[in-house]
Structure 1
Amino acid sequence: MENCERLGPENLFPQRRLFMGVGLFSVAVGIPNWLDVAGRMEAVQSRTVSRIGMPDVDMVKKMTDQFEELYGQFGGRRSRPMAARFLANTVVPYLHADAFDGVRKAMLSAASLLSYLTGWMAVDEGLHGLAREYYAKGLELASAGADHLTYCRVLRGMSVQAADLGHGEIAVRLANAAAATSAEAGPRMSAFMAGQQAHSFAVAGEKSSALRSIMETERAVDVAESGSGSFGGYGPATLAYHAAQVRYALGDVSGSIESLKLYFQLRGPSETQVSGIRFQLMLAERQLELGHLEAACATWSEVLDKYPAMHSGRVDRRVRAISRLLLPYTSNGLARDISERSRHLSRAA
């Protein structure tokens, strides 16, 4: 099997022309709704490689689930290379194979979700340009496969990326585009979208819109929790995380800490290991920001116990920052111990 991870990003897929020629985040910024994109999409051209059926689609979906589980446990460095190779060497040829129309659309949808997930993993590694390309491809494939759900999920993922990089205005436009695309969705998906809108508005400094959106998220979660079904694992724990992000972006550090603690009280077994460690690192940094040194060190200590099993760029960067953040506290024995542990583990990683 060809190891495409040794190649440059331009070789991740055969037929480079299938990528949209876009800048960072610009795919959806100028595309407010599904129909505008769908009307301009060219169908993915078929080549006679082989004939595929629904068992092939099911296999791609199951492999995507496996990659997502692997990422959730260990991080993007471990899972993305495998997902990228599978996408390039197995899924792309399927897109050129003979198939009935229903099978082809299902394969396009499955490929879109895998491309989105691979982009999400690239964000975890800090490879934002590469993530942009996977997201762009995910939008194209979702549109060609008439998969509204994955289409808006990719838009939301792009908004998460923009918000985490501090691009508030772009994050808002992407989150709004995702919400508009999913306007007919049920309450849990509405919460999934509104929570990201709230965070984006807060990063953009739009306080009233952020508070309105987080209230919409709360109402949607209440409705969803009274019923059945799920989307994207969104529930009370994720709501607490979004509330923490909104509060922090609006300057309420203490409230953000309260919401993060609530997240840890509410998170269930489906919450991923990587997310939990990332949010603990956020919590420790914010505890230190308020001068709660012992609390911050206790939180960091829990993280460092789990850190050796991680392969996450975002976790790596925050662990490396610990010793720098603790420099003003070198006279404190607990702080020195945590600083030394973080440096040692960072070198080992």
Structure 2
Amino acid sequence: MEALIDLGRQDMDPSRRSVLGAGLFSVALTIPCWPDVIGRAEAAESGRLSRIGMNEVDMVVAMTERVSDLDDQFGGRHARPMAASFMVNTVASYLHADASDSVRRAMLSAASDLLYLTGYMAVDEGLHGLAQRYYVKALELAVAAEDHLTYCTTLRGMSVQAVDLRHGAKARELADAAAAASPKAGPRMRAFLAGQQAHTAAQTGDRTNALRFIREAEAAMDRAESRGKPFGSYDPSSLNYHISQVRYELGDVHGAVNAMQQSDKVRHGVYRRARVRHRATLAERQLEIGHLEAACATWNLALDDYPMVQSGRADDRIRAMLALIRPHRRNASAGALYERARTVVRPALLA
């Protein structure tokens, strides 16, 4: 666990983050395969500390859920160092403690989920090398815990990171690996995985498989909606977001706008950061097809939530908004939007 402690401590140190993260995304990253690391015990050395039980596991799970809620509502800029500190000061010691086999596996699984979340928040800040290190460690602990769900979710998260950075081939490899590692996935999980496969296929120009995967995701979501509670945040809104991304990658901007509008219409819950990003993306595409007034209205909706969000990716979308509307400021709607933005966005974004 020394590597895990070192990773968390580096993340807690603001002076190290730019060195760790910026511009260090690696398309050549070696992903630990499930069969290759079964039986690794390094992450679960026992006997160093007092014995732990399910109470400690439940606490880690609850803390991870709380940090995830904060991330969804307010962005990860402040929540990620909190998660890193908790990992270093609490979780690492639990992983060294003595425990029954069942408790040890549960703790490894809980730690893996926390690492995945921390990596996801690092992606949000553009610290891509740091995020990859968290993700790889999450995969290792998921394998040691025999936790297929977190293993597949982490691979998919790595695919999302890669596709957003336009590394289409790597993104597709990771999305396919996630799907292959979950052969008995339920319908909502299958939709969760197939939607990402569709996006990566579209980005690599594979129209046939992009449309096949999105149809598969739609069929799986239809089955899932008649069953239990949603898997994480993947719901019809998320699926429509993927449909929009596929259509946009395949050159259908009007279709992408329609799907993104449907995504916004059916969104549930307080996923404020996603709301800012997705509405800003919708506005960009509305402007692309010449709908300036509609784009300004959508950007205004994004600005309603933006001041409450601390997120690098949200900042990127607002920065893009300012650049895109600047040439249209003679238009009344665009001019009003620009002046409103000047009062709510961080000064650095106006430079």
Q: Same fold (TM over 0.5)?
A: yes
Partner of 2:228, secondary structure, is coil
Determine the structure 2 residue equivalent to 1:178.
178
Structure 1 vs Structure 2 CA RMSD = 2.3
CA offsets 1:255-306 (integer angstroms, 9 cap, x no match): 011001111121122x511111111000111111111111111111122122
Identity of aligned residues (%): 54
Distance across 2 between alignment mates of 1:204 and 1:246: 11
Q: Which residue of 2 aligns with 1:45?
A: 45
Segment of structure 1 superposing worse, 321-330 or 227-236 = 227-236
The within-5 A match list for 1:1-349 is 5-6=12-13, 8=16, 23-24=26-27, 26-28=29-31, 34-38=34-38, 42-269=42-269, 272-348=271-347
Q: Number of matched residues?
A: 335
Residue-by-residue CA offset, 1:124-145 (whole Å, 9 max, x unaligned): 1111111111101100110111
Deviation of 1:229 (Å): 3.9
Q: Is the 8 A contact 2:272 2:305 kept in 1?
A: no
Q: Answer whether contact 1:320 1:342 (CA < 8 A) is retained.
A: no
Q: 1-side partners of 2:303 and 2:338: how far apart?
A: 10
Kept in 1: contact 2:17–2:127 (CA 8 A): no
For residues 111 and 23 of structure 1, what CA distance do their matches in structure 2 show?
Answer: 24
Distance 1:43 1:118, change over 3 A: closer
TM-score by length of 2: 0.90
Deviation for aligned residue 1:348: 4.8
1:39 Cα shift? 6.2
TM-score where L is the length of structure 1: 0.90
1:90 maps to a residue whose letter is: T
- Residue 24 of structure 1, CA deviation: 5.0
Give 5+ residue unaligned stretches, structure 1. Answer: 13-21
Q: Distance in 1 between matches of 2:335 and 2:138?
A: 46
Greater shift in the superposed pair: 244-253 or 297-306: 297-306
CA distance in 2, matches of 1:74, 1:247: 29
The alpha-carbon deviation at position 334 of structure 1 amounts to 2.0
Structure 2 gaps of 5+ residues are 1-8
Deviation at 1:11, TM superposition (A): 12
Indicate the larger mover: 293-302 or 33-42. Answer: 33-42
Deviation at 1:182, TM superposition (A): 0.6
Superposed CA deviations along residues 310-330 of structure 1, whole A, max 9, x for unmatched, are: 111111111122221113213
CA contact (8 A) 2:119 2:132 kept: yes
Q: Is this contact kept in 2: 1:160–1:196, CA < 8 A?
A: yes
Q: Shift in Å at residue 230 of structure 1? A: 3.2
Task: Say which SS state the counterpart of residue 139 (structure 1) adopts.
Answer: helix
| Aligned residue identity for 1:89 | N
User: Shift of the alpha carbon at 1:249?
Assistant: 1.1
CA distance in 2, matches of 1:332, 1:11: 43
Structure 1 CA distance, aligned partners of 2:66 and 2:173?
A: 32
CA–CA distance in 2 between the matches of 1:81 and 1:189?
A: 29
CA contact (8 A) 2:172 2:197 kept: yes
Partner of 1:19: none
Partner Cα separation in structure 2 for residue 342 and residue 11 of structure 1: 31
Structure 1 residue 41: deviation in Å? 7.2
The 8 Å contact of residues 326 and 339 in structure 1, kept in 2 or not, is answered as yes
Contact 1:41 1:143 in 2 (8 A): no
Out of 328-337 and 242-251, give the one that drifted further: 328-337
SS in 2 for 1:76: coil
Look up the SS of the partner of 2:97 in the other structure.
coil
